[in-house]
Structure 1
Amino acid sequence: MTQEAFLNMAVRLTLVYAAIFCGALVVGAVTTPGVVAGGTGVIGGDFLAFYTAGDFARHGEALQAYDFAAFDAKLKERASLEAIGMMWQYPPTMFFIVAPFAWLPYKASYFLWIATGWGALLLSLHALNFRGRAFWLLGFSVICVSVAAWGQISMATAALLFLSAYGPKRRWLVAGVAAGLLTIKPQLGLLLPVAFMAAGAWRTIAVAAVTAVLFHAPSFLVYGVDGWRDFLSAAARLNADVVGPGLYTPPQGMATLFGQLRALGLAGPIAAGVQYIFAAAIMIVVGLMWRRSDDALARAALLCAGAILAAPYAYGYEMTVLLLSAAYLARQAADYRAWQARFVICTTLVVMLFAALPPIGALQITFLVSAAAFAMTLLVMLRPSAARPAAGAVGQPA
């Protein structure tokens, strides 16, 4: 099969899979009475938490969302399950984002939520100059499709990370604004200051700081200091559960070394300590490679892959950030038979099938995929040939 034929086939399969998956998701949501699905889950997954917080804000009771008992009771008004296992730990600024969605019926709001996040991701790929087959393969990949079922905000936050990480010194205004907005989920931006300083992107840092202040200032005016105090208390409660019993944040499905170690039975405080050391090592690697390389896509790919590993708390739905690693590896492959391309293809199949695969002991597929993406991106960057795109490369932004 020629390279051209393979790429055309890959695009068709990607779009067909996305259409079937999303179609089944819509049909299942519409035909299911209420929001409870299968007796243990809910339509929209984690979107129920965003909708519930928006409902609190819509009724002028936003800070009640930080009260675990009140939030849990409100969740169970819509989903009569014994245990839902959701907490609210976003900054008060998030209330302005989720409140409008609470004015719509739940399922319609869920569809709009996914469409909005997906649209943001597609716009970010377009802004990075992905066109044609690369755009379709990335924008409708298996990872994006799976996030739709999670109901998470991760496609929108991945879009902000992409815009922040791609050429921040040259595109300082866009990158700085995106980085400032990403403070809505700050754990994903831990590597950005390191990268910006390594690149000498001082204007980007200034723009990010100003954007963050302006972005969050309205929440201080509306909710006052109490809103941020309640948020910090909720974050502390989340951290205590992550490191402690994991009743609401189980290690299963985490994409971090911490989650893998917890799944293997390591005590929470020890696993957290190892995670901090691991995160520091990733920061050093990213800083050094950003100083070594001038390739905008390579830099962004490494940072985005490292972002999910360095975060103290990240689940599989954050793997949307791995799209740039896939794009970079594919670009460096001479054709679809090259080892870089085979890695991307095999990883895509694993992500597509892992929910149906039997557990492999205590191994966390989400962590293994994220770690492999970071390692492969780093390996390719270290190769002498990485300085120039390979012949027949795919998805090379200008």
Structure 2
Amino acid sequence: MSLPMPKSPGPTSKPARLTAPHWLTCQRVVLYAALVLSLDLAFLGARVWAAYVSHLPAAAFGYDFAVFWSASYVTMHSGALSAYDPLLIQQAVLSLLHRPPTDFGTPWVYPPTFLLLVWPLSLLPFPPSYLAFVVIGVVFAGFACSQILMQRLTWAFWVPALAFPSVWIAVMAGQNSFYTLGLAGLGLSLMDRRPWLAGICIGLLAIKPQFGIVFALALLLGRQWRVIAAATITVATLCAISGLVLGFETFGKFLISLSLFGRFIVERSAHWPGGIASAFGGARSLGLSPTVAYLIHATFAVPAVLLVSYLSIIKARLELRAAAIGVATILAQPYLLGYDLVWLALPILFLVVDGHRHGWLMGDVPILIAAWLAPLVFFIMGPAVLIVIVALMVMLIRRSRMVPGCAPLLPTSRPVSH
């Protein structure tokens, strides 16, 4: 089917009424997502069989969470500085997962702000601690998504959400992606309504500071002073508490550990297990030098950051600014793994809200579906996932120029009146 394009806006232009994608009903969304969810669960079952029936160490769940739990255990028994000893952490992780040593280590490279939060994890044995960490993370991320959509969540939300492939990647790894996604989602959805609370959520991204850099730029250019103040106070408070509890010398250890790990990534990124999802990782997998890989990475990251800057300066509607921040944060990371792609939920959800309120352009819905499937694309075709993310950028540019209409995504939804 074809969707009519809106006319160019003029001083007397009326809002264009865009054709809704009637083929995508609530029932079909649930059905198609359920089919993908069945594939996710089949893979999950195969992984369980391989890990706990066939006893293949490489298939064990919670590989990344084992690093968190080990950092907690080492901190409790040997002090916080010991968490930054890569040999101690590797020994603990390999012991937990019954794995032989590999060329790819398992260092703790997170800041003391995150070490403070994971410190209690080893109070529980590894399996229940892992389960609690994942379940709480999924619930928190789901709550944040409900704030983006600002409506009661039904099966039409939960089935696609649970079928989102990166969810299961993050679950099996035991990563903190659900927590950073939840903080970002809450911060963005509350930014214009409750700026102080939004700033606290964004400030808490100091647990993984590289995911907060684009936020800082967007807030400054958007002159969101109350959000900036709340985020700054939150970061300062979290750092102060971390230093008082764990010792301020842990920040120096963190910087050293981060530098060593950064060099390790550059040296080994061409052969990284499972691949790196960024433009840098894709270039390195093709055998290109680190310098060329960083230049290629910049060709993706810089336009995304410029788009965020432009939308922030002109005070574009919140949905477009939030979606752009999500896209730029993903594209800006040289070290991006499959579980980080759970952050694609941000542009997907905010663009769904924007489409519901202002109408759809031709190609919008297929791009969102492709973004939802992007984690599968990564595992099948590696860096091809970048094409999908660039398509989201193009969609954002087009929607920032469109004449608002009134055509909801799902025909069963009530259209928003203007």
Q: Per the alignment, in what secondary structure is the counterpart of residue 181 of structure 2?
A: helix
Cα shift readout 1:261-290 (whole Å, capped 9, x = no counterpart): 212222113323543565344322211022
Q: How far apart in 2 are the matches of 1:63 and 1:44?
A: 24
Task: Say whether 1:173 aligns with 2:200.
Answer: no
The counterpart of 1:380, out of the listed 370, 378, 399, is 399
The corresponding residue for 1:62 is 80
TM-score w.r.t. the length of structure 1 is 0.84
Aligned runs of 1:1-398 on 2, under 5 Å? Answer: 3=22, 6-14=25-33, 17-18=36-37, 21=40, 25=44, 29=48, 32-33=51-52, 38-78=56-96, 79-83=98-102, 85-128=105-148, 129-133=150-154, 135-136=157-158, 139-140=161-162, 141-166=164-189, 168-246=191-269, 250=272, 253-276=275-298, 278-331=300-353, 332=355, 339-352=363-376, 355=379, 357=380, 360=381, 363-382=382-401, 384-385=402-403, 387-388=404-405, 390-392=407-409
Amino acid at match of 2:369: I
Give the length in aligned residue pairs.
389
Contact kept, 8 Å, 1:3 with 1:335, in 2: the verdict is no
Unaligned stretches of 5+ residues in structure 2: 1-20
Q: 1:228 deviation in Å?
A: 0.8
Contact 1:169 1:200 in 2 (8 A): no
Residue of structure 1 equivalent to 2:11: none
Please give the alpha-carbon distance, in whole angstroms, between the structure 2 residues aligned to 1:102 and 1:166. Answer: 33
How many Å separate the matches in 1 of 2:318 and 2:367? 21
**Taking structure 1 as reference, are residues 309 and 115 closer, same or farther at Cα in structure 2, changes over 3 Å only?**
same
Counterpart residue identity of residue 176, structure 1: G
Q: Which amino acid aligns with 1:72?
A: Q
Letter in 1 for 2:76: R
Amino acid of the structure 1 residue aligned with 2:336: A
Contact conserved, 1:305 with 1:374, CA < 8 A, in 2? yes
2:109–2:254 contact (8 Å) kept in structure 1:
yes
What per-residue deviation string (whole Å, max 9, x for no partner) do you get for residues 84-143 of structure 1?
A: 632210011222222222122222222111111111111111222143456425642333
Kept in 1, the 8 Å contact 2:72–2:115? The answer is: yes
Moved more, 221-230 or 344-353: 344-353
Deviation at 1:241, TM superposition (A): 1.3
Greater C-alpha radius of gyration:
2
Deviation (angstroms), 1:375:
3.3
TM superposition score normalised by structure 2: 0.81
- Aligned CA distance change for structure 1 residues 146 and 15 (closer, same or farther; 3 Å): farther
Give a deviation string over 1:161-195, Cα, whole Å, max 9, x none.
12223352432112100111001101111111221
- For the residues of structure 1 that align with 2:362 and 2:300, how far apart are their CA atoms? 30
- What's the CA shift string for 1:28-56, capped at 9, x where partnerless? 6599559x963434322311111111211
Confirm or deny: 8 A CA contact 1:90 1:231 kept in the other structure. Answer: yes
CA offsets, 1:222-266, max 9 Å, x none?
23232111101011011111222338x828532322112212222
Q: 1:338 to 1:18 in 2, by over 3 A?
A: same
Percent of aligned pairs with the same amino acid = 25
Aligned residue type for 1:291: I
Higher relative contact order (CA 8 A, sep 6+): 2
The one-letter amino acid of 1:237's match is: L
* Whole-angstrom distance in 1 between the partners of 2:84 and 2:159: 39
